Structure 1
Amino acid sequence: MANDEDDIIIAVPRSRPGEVMSRFAVTPYPAWAFTSALALTFPRANAMKGYYPRSLSCAGFGSVIAFGGYMIHDNDVINGAGFTSAWSILYLLVNGRKAITQLKPWPAFLSMFALGNATLYGREFFFPNSDRTKV
């Protein structure tokens, strides 16, 4: 015997990729993921002489970007997004060229991750939307 409740179909509206990405801009997770990637790089950068990014760069940028994620987590979305975007751009200025010319996949991945964070959080900072910033 079938219930009427078994026949109910729930329609979930599809969202555009831009909407999905803009939801990530109000969370600290992309910043903390980049910090984790930098923390994973620290042992290798410490062991190898000519490896970029350097261990000091990993520790410094990782801690600052983690703080930016904490600002977003503490409901200061606009300032946290601007802070994280600015420091991601600074990471690219310091380590971007060496990461690309080194021809190793992990440093290039870190640079692309920083570019993604700079774009994601920069969009939130420069073009805030009142619906997105409400957590």
Structure 2
Amino acid sequence: MSRLTEPYIAKGYAHWLILHSWPIWTSGVIFMSTAGLKSAGLPPLYQRIGFPFIFLGAGYVLNTGDKYNGSGIATAWSATYLFLNGRNALRARTPASLMLAVTAASTLSLYGSEYFYFNRNDAVEEVAV
């Protein structure tokens, strides 16, 4: 077993994915790829362009090493997308709208588990006064 994989064995593969920024960047690319589509159930264009930039920003935060805030940004904005557009996607049942809903749900579950579950036992840093 290598030094690189030892810390991830205890928490599993999902935790290893969370510590890397490529899953959230992939979500951003999937959202951006629907910008030119016109289909029932898709959110407005400004949302299909705005959410990728938020996801790319969350990936940047994760890439700098701040896993708590990066996973929090990804969790909050994925939940926001599902709150605003999840019901319309399920009602329309088009491949593009379902793809965006599944992408947001998987991002929410992946980074939400990091934000709410894996970080609950991390030590809190003391602030020097």
TM-score range, shorter chain: 0.7 to 0.9
Q: Could you say which residue in structure 2 is the equivalent of 1:41? A: 34
**TM-score, with structure 2 as normaliser:** 0.79
How far apart are the structure 2 equivalents of 1:107 and 1:79?
28
The answer on whether the counterparts of 2:41 and 2:88 sit within 8 Å (CA) in structure 1 is no
Q: Could you say which residue in structure 1 is the equivalent of 2:3? A: none
Q: Which amino acid aligns with 1:102?
A: A
Q: Does 1:92 align with 2:85?
A: no
Instruction: Compute the RMSD of aligned alpha carbons.
Output: 1.9
How far apart are the structure 2 equivalents of 1:105 and 1:49?
9
**TM-score, with structure 1 as normaliser:** 0.75
Rg larger in structure: 1
Matched-pair identity in %: 27
Q: Please state whether the residue corresponding to 1:123 is helix, strand or coil.
A: helix
Q: Does 1:119 align with 2:109?
A: yes
How far apart are the structure 1 equivalents of 2:46 and 2:87?
17
Q: Does 1:67 align with 2:60?
A: no
Q: Which amino acid aligns with 1:111?
A: A
Deviations 1:43-91 (A, max 9, x none): 11xxx37551221111111111110111000111111001111000001
Q: Could you say which residue in structure 2 is the equivalent of 1:21? A: 14
- Name structure 2 gaps, 5 residues minimum: 1-7, 123-129
- Name structure 1 gaps, 5 residues minimum: 1-14, 131-135
